[in-house]
């Protein structure tokens, strides 16, 4: 069996998360490729036994070691109650023939409403063609522990261990690892319950699944994107991360706080988002390039400081772990809605570098790239991660940490007489920065417009020159980039263009479509600013180009929406402006990753509706004077 | 060594001694009669007195008339954005604790738009000299009421008089946890200003100094026309800020124990007469950057890689 997608859901606080982590680790240790996504409510303790309380994980496991996305509708769901189960149906996350494992104790619960609701939901699933396996989570757990709520998750993971023919001894090791540091009674109870669940499964299930991993010699790691960012920040040689708590970014700072002091760095929790970037900027100005990690609302608060970093050409790295917006929006869920804000969100013209990792593995490496660009180009680099990467787990090749370069000490040598703080190369805009402590380099670094000597000035000529030089650095960086590689054939009917964590789902959809003979390819952009070279040439080889993004766009069929007023997905706006091509978008805000099958359906719809007379992407006709 | 002998020795060794001009950058562009000139000169004198290498000092400021000061001081300087001098100063101290830092702000800059940073900086107690040049008005934006504008005064945003009692920054500071140094002085008392900045410079921790200064353009009548009719008392203590006898025609001496937090809090709530001198000092409060540096250990590259490898082991599954 090549792969399966499993969901585990409970009421918040009942521990489906922990069960899922244990199951994912069990699969990872068996060598299965893996991608997990958290299913998480926005409150810590929402009202129990409601669809809004569902909390848990989706786990996609495969024979192959490379799993790049969260997959399609789930094959198996294990639910602690029927409302949690129902919530997954409402989220359109389950296959019609999904195998449902559900705690049977609601069937005979003293509360009649629960009994009725349980029967209704079960009937609904049976009618869809699902197989129902009622399992005694609560009943069996209660034989070992007084409060079954605090333990049935371990019984549940034991059941899954049996269902997927995994080794229960390995599971025991995983559980002992997860509960490390807890009281020994707690650990032993967890192990007992997991083994009881396993025994129950082995003796009760007529049929089990076996997703056997493809053997590999390459050591693998499994972690979430925020942990990968934290380890990547250490490997990149950062010494200061300044932050303010915000979902879903904070766990990156948790991971960093655990380790950083042993590597000579520290996490500074500032009094607010503004101070967080201010402290990072101050540290960078003093010569130690720092980073700040935040999410959308924090990005908004940091915009004035972003302008300051750009104006003073102080290297700085911001990680924005995107979530649903606007405002507080969907704090725990994925969106890719901060692209335009990252590109343009600062007062005045403020050219910045914007990068987006597309996998959890890339989260580890991207901060080294970001830091190098920030320092060499004296620029603000924004890294756009998202809630999907942040909380999902992926299996990937263990990074070779011994290849991590040594960080040179600060160069505080005297500044040559006559050296200027902004000694811009007139072609590239690049200059060497002066660091406090360097004799002969004294002078003010100002937020005011300034010339090469760093002194404030207000005349047109020197204002224009400053803008040109700061902007020119983006062009200089763009010249060093390679054209991105097309996934699939380099020409055809349709090109999907994506960025960030949608890559795995897009490429899987493209592969599936090509298997069906559809002429579709995809392109993924890691650099959003500057855009890589060659895009127009690549696009010209396809009849249609659409972006696939997890942000809002108007449905062209919706009331009042016309060609004139339609708002596009964010990358589509950027690419339309950059190429003058009529690039469309498949952009929506479901608060979860796209399933490959949804993208595949969109591809089929587009290609079915295409008329053969249609020419390659139209020029934007509304742009006057464009010839 | 007698004072004269020391002077002659300094003359002989002059090659190693900095002159006042070494701390001069471009010519100040403040209005004639602005108190900012006096603060700049006092800062330059304290740097000269401590023979600081200009490259080892960082002056950080926000936005406003007074925040232009780093432009005119020949050290490293950072003229940032409105209200945010303290986070930047904190960043410098955290990453390079060997560099002395001076933060310069105005009253609107520190007490209003930067209020959150102000209160938290006092709690962090970074080792820095923090000067607020308080002219009780937004001057660079042309006369709007600031948090410290006196009761009923007319400004462009309060043409019929201000609505609220002014903020008392001294009592706000004394209400914060971890306060380690609080002093007040005025630019019309240059000898006292010098002594206060000197005392702040030598304090280990965040030395918060409120400097009263008149804006001759927009608030010429403030502080009793620049101190002429402004009632003050000079806080007196052997370890405090010395009061030159010539100042006593400006106000009386008042014995004060700046080590006693309750006494300091009591004095801080008094606005008339205004207390001048050292209100509070506690040299035992640890500086935030030192706490953080004590707890981290920078390994050599080999150990760094071993630790990173061990961190990766935790996540290794096969």
Q: pLDDT digit string (tens) for A42-82? A: 788 888 999 999 999 999 999 998 999 999 999 999 999 99
* Local confidence band at A14 (pLDDT 50, 70, 90 cut-offs): very high
Which CATH number describes the domain made up of B19-313?
Answer: 3.40.50.970
Q: Please report which helix (H) or strand (E) contains residue B61, including its range.
A: strand B58-61
How far apart, in Å, are the Cα atoms of A147 and each of A21, A141, B294? 22, 9, 45
Partner-chain contact B92 A231, CB within 8 Å? no
**Do residue A23 and residue A135 come from a single domain?**
yes
Of B71, B88, B90, the CB nearest to A456: B71
The token duo for A524 is: 């993924």
Cβ–Cβ contact B307 with A under 8 A:
yes
The token duo for B100 is: 């002395």
Asked whether residue A319 is domain-assigned, the answer is: yes
Alpha carbon of residue A562 to chain centroid: 32
Partner-chain contact B307 A263, CB within 8 Å? yes
Partner-chain contact B88 A285, CB within 8 Å? yes
Cis peptide before A248 (omega within 30 of 0): yes
Cβ–Cβ contact A205 with B under 8 A:
no
Closest residue on chain A to B94 (Cα): A283
**Chain B contact probe: residue of A174, A216, A282, A361 with most B CBs at under 10 A:** A282
Cβ–Cβ contact A308 with B under 8 A:
yes
- Across the range B17-37, mean pLDDT stands at 95
**Residue A622 pLDDT > 60:** no
Of A202, A367, A188, A399, the residue nearest A291 (C-alpha) = A367
Partner-chain contact A222 B317, CB within 8 Å? yes
* Local confidence band at B298 (pLDDT 50, 70, 90 cut-offs): confident
**Do residue A255 and residue A323 come from a single domain?**
yes
The token duo for B28 is: 């100040």
| Complex confidence, ipTM | 0.95
Asked whether residue A619 is domain-assigned, the answer is: no
Length of chain A: 627
Half-sphere exposure of A494 (CA within 13 A, CB side): 29
pLDDT of residue A216: 83
**Do residue A368 and residue A256 come from a single domain?**
yes
**Residue A365 pLDDT > 90:** yes
Partner-chain contact B117 A282, CB within 8 Å? no
- Which residues of B fall within a CB distance of 8 Å from A216? 318
- Across the range A458-473, mean pLDDT stands at 98
Residue with tokens 């796209």: A594
Alpha carbon of residue A394 to chain centroid: 11
Q: How many CB pairs under 8 A join A and B?
A: 203
Q: Helix or strand or coil: residue B304?
A: helix
**What rounded mean pLDDT belongs to chain A?**
94
Cβ–Cβ contact A455 with B under 8 A:
yes
How far apart are the C-alpha atoms of B181 and B197, rounded to whole Å? 12
Closest residue on chain B to A400 (Cα): B309
Asked whether residue A406 is domain-assigned, the answer is: no
Of B75, B80, B96, the CB nearest to A447: B80
How far apart are the C-alpha atoms of B170 and B107, rounded to whole Å? 12
Task: Name the B residues in 213-252 with CB < 8 Å from any A CB.
Answer: none
- Which residues of A fall within a CB distance of 8 Å from B78? 282, 285, 312, 444-446
Residue with tokens 């004799």: A439
Of B86, B94, B308, the CB nearest to A401: B308
Of B42, B126, B113, the residue nearest A286 (C-alpha) = B126
Write the DSSP assignment of A433-478 as a string of letters. PP-TT-TT--EEEESS-B-TT--B---HHHHHHHHHHHHHHHHHHH
**Residue B266 pLDDT > 70:** yes
Of B78, B99, B296, the CB nearest to A264: B296
Partner-chain contact B308 A263, CB within 8 Å? yes
Cβ–Cβ contact B160 with A under 8 A:
no
Cβ–Cβ contact B292 with A under 8 A:
yes
Q: Helix or strand or coil: residue B266?
A: helix
Task: Name the A residues in 554-583 with CB < 8 Å from any B CB.
Answer: none
**Do residue A187 and residue A46 come from a single domain?**
yes
Asked whether residue A449 is domain-assigned, the answer is: yes
**Do residue A80 and residue A105 come from a single domain?**
yes
**Residue A616 pLDDT > 90:** no
The token duo for A21 is: 């982590």
At A390-399, the pLDDT tens digits run 999 999 999 9
Closest residue on chain B to A271 (Cα): B120
**Residue B20 pLDDT > 90:** yes
**What rounded mean pLDDT belongs to chain B?**
94
* Local confidence band at A147 (pLDDT 50, 70, 90 cut-offs): confident
How far apart are the C-alpha atoms of A56 and A47, rounded to whole Å? 16
How far apart are the C-alpha atoms of A59 and A76, rounded to whole Å? 10
**Do residue A150 and residue A237 come from a single domain?**
no
**Residue B8 pLDDT > 60:** no
How far apart are the C-alpha atoms of A102 and A124, rounded to whole Å? 14
**Chain B contact probe: residue of A220, A442, A445 with most B CBs at under 10 A:** A442
How far apart are the C-alpha atoms of A312 and B76, rounded to whole Å? 14
**Residue B9 pLDDT > 80:** no
pLDDT of residue A432: 96
The domain in which residue A95 lies consists of 3-204
How far apart are the C-alpha atoms of B317 and A21, rounded to whole Å? 13
Give, to the nearest 10 degrees, the angle between helix A503-515 and helix A596-608: 50
Cβ–Cβ contact A438 with B under 8 A:
yes
Alpha carbon of residue A506 to chain centroid: 14
Cβ–Cβ contact B299 with A under 8 A:
yes
Partner-chain contact A222 B117, CB within 8 Å? no
Cβ–Cβ contact A244 with B under 8 A:
no
**Do residue A473 and residue A363 come from a single domain?**
no
Asked whether residue A76 is domain-assigned, the answer is: yes
A603 touches A509 (CB < 8 A): yes
Of A31, A234, A402, the CB nearest to B318: A31
How far apart are the C-alpha atoms of B118 and B115, rounded to whole Å? 5
- Which residues of A fall within a CB distance of 8 Å from B93? 282
**Residue A614 pLDDT > 60:** no
- Across the range A571-593, mean pLDDT stands at 97
How far apart are the C-alpha atoms of A486 and A134, rounded to whole Å? 47
Structural domains counted in chain A: 4
B276 touches B268 (CB < 8 A): no
Q: What is the DSSP letter of A414?
A: P
pLDDT of residue A146: 87
Cβ–Cβ contact A280 with B under 8 A:
yes
- Which residues of B fall within a CB distance of 8 Å from A271? 116-117, 119-120
* Local confidence band at A623 (pLDDT 50, 70, 90 cut-offs): very low
**Do residue A320 and residue A385 come from a single domain?**
yes
Could you state, in order of their start, the residue ranges of all structural domains in chain B? Answer: 19-313
Asked whether residue A407 is domain-assigned, the answer is: no
**Do residue A150 and residue A20 come from a single domain?**
yes
Cβ–Cβ contact B312 with A under 8 A:
yes
Of B77, B89, B308, the CB nearest to A404: B308
**Do residue A66 and residue A196 come from a single domain?**
yes
Domain harbouring A570, CATH code = 3.40.50.920
- Which residues of B fall within a CB distance of 8 Å from A28? 317-318
Of A242, A282, A441, the CB nearest to B55: A441
**Do residue A159 and residue A264 come from a single domain?**
no
Asked which of A160, A177, A204 is the last residue of a domain, the reply is: A204
- Across the range A197-213, mean pLDDT stands at 95
Cβ–Cβ contact B27 with A under 8 A:
no
Partner-chain contact B117 A445, CB within 8 Å? no
pLDDT of residue B16: 76
Cβ–Cβ contact B291 with A under 8 A:
no
pLDDT of residue A625: 39
Domain harbouring A49, CATH code = 3.40.920.10
Residue with tokens 């009386």: B252
**Residue A192 pLDDT > 70:** yes
Cβ–Cβ contact B52 with A under 8 A:
no
């Amino acid at each position: 069996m090549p792969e399966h997608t499993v969901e585990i859901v409970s009421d918040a606080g009942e521990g489906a998360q922990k069960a899922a982590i244990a199951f994912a680790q069990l699969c990872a240790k068996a060598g299965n490729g893996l991608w997990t996504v958290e299913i998480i409510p926005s409150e810590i303790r929402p009202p129990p036994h409601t669809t809004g309380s569902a909390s848990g994980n989706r786990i996609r496991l495969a024979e192959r070691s490379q799993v790049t996305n969260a997959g399609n509708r789930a094959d198996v769901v294990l639910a602690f109650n029927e409302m949690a189960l129902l919530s997954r149906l409402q989220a359109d996350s389950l296959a019609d023939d999904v195998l449902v494992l559900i705690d049977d104790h609601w069937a005979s619960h003293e509360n009649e409403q629960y009994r009725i609701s349980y029967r209704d939901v079960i009937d609904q699933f049976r009618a869809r063609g699902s197989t129902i396996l009622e399992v005694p989570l609560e009943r069996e757990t209660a034989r070992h522990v007084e409060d079954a709520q605090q333990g049935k998750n371990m019984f549940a993971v034991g059941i899954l261990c049996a269902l997927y023919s995994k080794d229960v001894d390995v599971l025991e090791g995983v559980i002992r690892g997860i509960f490390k540091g807890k009281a020994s009674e707690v650990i032993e109870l967890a192990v007992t319950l997991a083994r009881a669940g396993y025994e129950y499964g082995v003796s009760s299930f007529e049929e089990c699944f076996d997703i056997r991993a493809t053997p590999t010699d390459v050591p693998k790691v499994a972690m979430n994107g925020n942990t990968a960012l934290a380890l990547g920040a250490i490997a990149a040689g950062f010494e200061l991360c300044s932050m303010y708590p915000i979902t879903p970014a904070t766990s990156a700072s948790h991971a960093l706080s655990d380790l950083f002091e042993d590597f000579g760095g520290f996490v500074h929790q500032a009094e607010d988002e503004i101070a967080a970037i201010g402290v990072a900027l101050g540290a960078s100005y003093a010569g130690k390039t720092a980073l700040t990690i935040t999410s959308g609302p924090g990005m908004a608060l940091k915009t004035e400081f972003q302008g300051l970093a750009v104006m003073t050409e102080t290297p700085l790295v911001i990680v924005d772990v995107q979530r649903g917006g606007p405002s507080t929006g969907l704090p725990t869920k994925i969106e890719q809605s901060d692209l335009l804000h990252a590109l343009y969100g600062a007062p005045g013209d403020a050219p910045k570098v914007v990068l987006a990792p597309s996998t959890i593995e890339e989260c580890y490496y991207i901060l080294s790239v970001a830091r190098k660009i920030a320092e060499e180009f004296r620029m603000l680099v924004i890294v756009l991660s998202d809630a999907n990467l942040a909380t999902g787990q992926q299996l990937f090749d263990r990074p070779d940490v011994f290849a991590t370069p040594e960080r040179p000490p600060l160069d505080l040598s005297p500044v040559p007489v006559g050296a200027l703080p902004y000694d811009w190369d007139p072609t590239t805009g690049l200059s060497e920065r002066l660091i406090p402590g360097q004799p002969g380099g004294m002078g003010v670094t100002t937020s005011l417009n300034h010339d090469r000597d760093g002194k404030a000035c207000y005349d047109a000529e020197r204002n224009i020159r400053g803008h040109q030089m700061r902007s020119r650095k983006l062009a200089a960086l763009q010249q060093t980039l390679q054209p991105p590689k097309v996934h699939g054939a380099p020409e055809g009917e349709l090109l999907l263009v994506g960025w960030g964590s949608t890559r795995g789902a897009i490429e899987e959809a493209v592969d599936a479509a090509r298997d069906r003979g559809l002429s579709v390819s995809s392109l993924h952009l890691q650099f959003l600013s500057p855009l890589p070279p060659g895009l127009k040439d690549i696009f010209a080889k396809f009849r249609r180009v659409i972006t696939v993004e997890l942000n809002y766009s108007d449905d062209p069929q919706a009331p009042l929406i016309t060609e004139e007023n339609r708002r596009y997905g964010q990358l589509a706006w950027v690419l339309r402006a950059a190429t003058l091509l009529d690039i469309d978008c498949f952009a929506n805000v479901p608060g979860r990753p796209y399933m490959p099958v949804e993208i595949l359906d969109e591809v089929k719809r587009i290609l079915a509706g295409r008329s053969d007379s249609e020419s390659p992407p139209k020029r934007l006709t509304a742009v006057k004077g464009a010839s | 060594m007698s004072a004269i002998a020391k002077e002659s020795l300094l003359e002989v060794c002059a090659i190693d001694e900095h002159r006042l001009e070494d701390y001069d950058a471009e010519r100040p562009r403040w209005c004639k009669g602005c108190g900012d000139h006096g603060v700049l000169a006092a800062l330059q004198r304290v740097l000269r007195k401590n023979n600081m290498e200009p490259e080892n000092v960082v002056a950080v400021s926000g936005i406003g008339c007074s925040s232009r000061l780093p432009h005119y001081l020949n050290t490293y300087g950072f003229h940032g954005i409105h209200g945010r001098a303290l986070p930047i100063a904190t960043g410098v101290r955290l990453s390079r604790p060997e560099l002395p830092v001076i933060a310069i702000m105005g009253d609107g800059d520190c007490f209003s738009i930067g209020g959150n940073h102000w209160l938290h900086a006092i709690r962090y107690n970074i080792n820095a000299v923090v000067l607020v040049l308080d002219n009780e008005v937004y001057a660079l934006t042309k006369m709007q009421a600031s948090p410290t504008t006196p009761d009923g005064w007319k400004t462009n945003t309060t043409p019929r008089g201000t609505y609220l009692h002014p903020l008392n920054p001294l009592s706000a500071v004394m209400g914060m946890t971890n306060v380690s140094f609080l002093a007040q002085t005025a630019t019309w008392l240059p000898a006292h200003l010098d002594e206060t900045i000197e005392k702040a410079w030598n304090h280990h921790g965040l030395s918060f100094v409120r400097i009263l200064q008149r804006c001759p353009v927009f608030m010429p009548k403030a502080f009793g026309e620049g101190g002429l009719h402004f009632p003050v008392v000079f806080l007196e203590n052997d370890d405090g800020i010395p009061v030159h006898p010539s100042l006593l025609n400006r106000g009386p001496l008042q014995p004060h124990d700046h080590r006693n937090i309750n006494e300091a809090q009591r004095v801080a709530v008094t606005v008339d007469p205004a207390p001048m001198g050292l209100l509070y000092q506690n040299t035992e409060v640890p500086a935030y950057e030192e706490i953080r540096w004590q707890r981290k250990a920078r390994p050599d590259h080999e150990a760094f890689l071993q630790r990173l490898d061990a961190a990766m082991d935790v996540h290794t599954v096969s």
